[in-house]
Amino acid sequence: MAAKAELQMSTALVTGASSGIGAAFAEAYAARGARLVLVAPGEPRLREVADRLRGDYGVDVHTVAVDLAEESGPDTLAKAVADIGLDIDILVNNAGFGSRGPYHETSADRDHRQVMLNVVAVERITHLFLPTMVARGGGTIINTSSTSGFQAVPYMAVYGGSKAFVLHFTIALWAEYRRHGVRVLAVCPGPTDTGFFAVLGSRMSAGGRLRTTDEVVASAFRALERGQAYVIDGRLNYLTSNASRLLPRGLVAQITERVLRRGSMVMLQPTNRRGRRWNVARLSPFGSSASSDGSRRPTGVGSDAALGRFVVPDQQVRSGQQTGDARAVESGRQ
Ligand SMILES: NC(=O)c1ccc[n+]([C@@H]2O[C@H](COP(=O)([O-])OP(=O)(O)OC[C@H]3O[C@@H](n4cnc5c(N)ncnc54)[C@H](OP(=O)(O)O)[C@@H]3O)[C@@H](O)[C@H]2O)c1
């Protein structure tokens, strides 16, 4: 992270800033005195966030209401920024959403919009703002990937693929632009407490603790200070993301598919902040799951969920599946 004095002279553009992780990034930069450009399609919510940040931090906040899943969205955004007369020092490509279900049954239009927003817009917006940063010899780009980016995620094939793109695209740019003074970071949250699951259409909720948006932002800022190419938010997410990398990719995908389809795998979930208490619940992809505390929990398939937080064979522990909601029992990855 740049020094506070430096940030007070900076302009941060955050996409998906009207809620969740994007709103938390916007607030964190406002708290450090940066001027903001907040971007999302829904104008009323965007205005609400902007008014709050102006009131709380006294910073200059601009809003651009634009649908970045539209082909013309990124160019419309760049034009709006140029019309305001701002140079962007910090770009947070955060807007994104997921869908779930057997691929042939998901909406082709929704999947297309998902690729347009999660992949095409991220790439295009980076193309629009990076050259100025390179010319100035400084800048920051944070792209929101996901723990889903570390493996194939059956029943969330498009989402997992889109986040893998963001992860690898970002790491490549990190390597290319270090010597130009531009910091590039992929932030990979696991299940985080936002509106993501409502958009996903998940029926799941239950068990362990979701990470907070503030924790995700704090992880990103720490990683920027350390000059990392990517960061996985949360120790448990770090362990599970890396554990799956030790196995053959096909095997991981097969296990994930099986878990999500048949509920034949299980997992342990932490139920308190420090992960010292564990809840054991049984996977039941489309029904409800029973957990070790005796309650029944609704479940659903796929999500920004991860394969196998501690997914182990049925006989050893039991668990359920989730939709990116860490409390849900799952086997996908955020
Ligand atoms: N929450 C998690 O568990 C989790 C885990 C890993 C990664 N992520 C990633 O984190 C990022 C932020 O998600 P979140 O969890 O904060 O979800 P969220 O609360 O649903 O926020 C999504 C944001 O993206 C905006 N957005 C949606 N469609 C858009 C479009 N077509 N054009 C421009 N902006 C659009 C939304 O604006 P409106 O409100 O106006 O629709 C909203 O501001 C996403 O990339 C997501 O994939 C989330």
Distance of CA 114 from the midpoint of ligand 1 (Å): 11
Q: Which helix (H) or strand (E) holds 220?
A: helix 213-226
Q: Taking the CB of residue 71, how many other CB atoms lie within 10 A of it?
A: 12
Nearest-atom index, ligand 1, CA of 41: 40
Residues 205, 269: one domain? Answer: no
185-218 CB burial, b ≥16 within 10 A, e <16: bbbbbbbbbbebbebbebbbbbbbbbbebebbbe
pLDDT number for residue 60 = 98
Interatomic CA distance for residues 304 and 114, integer angstroms: 13
CB 326 within 8 A of CB 191: yes
CB 322 within 8 A of CB 204: yes
Distance of CA 20 from the midpoint of ligand 1 (Å): 7
Instruction: Retrieve residue 64's tokens.
Output: 């651009």
Q: Catalytic residues, which ones?
A: 159
Number of domains in the chain: 2
**Residues having CB within 6 Å of any atom of ligand 1:** 15-22, 40-42, 45, 67-69, 94-98, 117, 144, 146, 189, 191-192, 194-196, 199, 304, 324, 334
Summarize pLDDT for 206-260 with one digit per residue, the tens: 345 789 999 999 999 999 999 999 999 999 999 999 988 899 999 999 999 998 8
Beta bridge partners of 88: none
Residues 190, 265: one domain? Answer: no
Q: How many helices (H) and strands (E) does the chain have?
A: 11, 12
Closest-CA residue, ligand 1 atom 2, reads 192
Does residue 319 sit within a domain?
Answer: no
Residues 157, 96: one domain? Answer: yes
Interatomic CA distance for residues 21 and 14, integer angstroms: 10
Instruction: Provide the domain limits for residue 269.
Output: 247-313
CB 171 within 8 A of CB 187: no
Can you give the CATH number for the domain in which 78 is found?
Answer: 3.40.50.720
Residues 295, 229: one domain? Answer: no
Compute CA distances 235 → 93, 130, 225, 272, whole Å.
24, 31, 18, 14
225-259 CB burial, b ≥16 within 10 A, e <16: eeebbbbbbbebbbebbebbeeeeeeebbebbbbb
pLDDT number for residue 7 = 79
Closest-CA residue, ligand 1 atom 1, reads 192
Distance of CA 65 from the midpoint of ligand 1 (Å): 14
The CA-based dihedral angle spanning residues 175, 24, 114, 67, taken in that order and rounded to the nearest 10 degrees: -110
Summarize pLDDT for 11-66 with one digit per residue, the tens: 999 999 999 999 999 999 999 999 999 999 999 999 999 999 999 999 999 999 99
Closest-CA residue, ligand 1 atom 25, reads 16
Question: What pTM value is reported for the model?
Answer: 0.83
Residues 42, 181: one domain? Answer: yes
Nearest-atom index, ligand 1, CA of 17: 43
Mutating to test ligand 1, I would choose from 39, 196, 212, 322 the residue with most ligand atoms within 8 A of its C-beta, which is 196
Closest-CA residue, ligand 1 atom 17, reads 196
Does residue 307 sit within a domain?
Answer: yes
Residues 234, 305: one domain? Answer: no
Model confidence at 96, pLDDT cuts 50, 70, 90, reads very high
Residues 153, 293: one domain? Answer: no
Residues 196, 261: one domain? Answer: no
44: left (phi over 0), alpha (psi -120 to 50) or beta: alpha
Distance of CA 187 from the midpoint of ligand 1 (Å): 14
Distance of CA 274 from the midpoint of ligand 1 (Å): 27
DSSP 3-state of 280: strand
Residues 210, 256: one domain? Answer: no
Closest-CA residue, ligand 1 atom 45, reads 96
Summarize pLDDT for 248-278 with one digit per residue, the tens: 999 999 999 998 887 533 444 455 555 445 4
Residues 283, 210: one domain? Answer: no
Residues 50, 154: one domain? Answer: yes
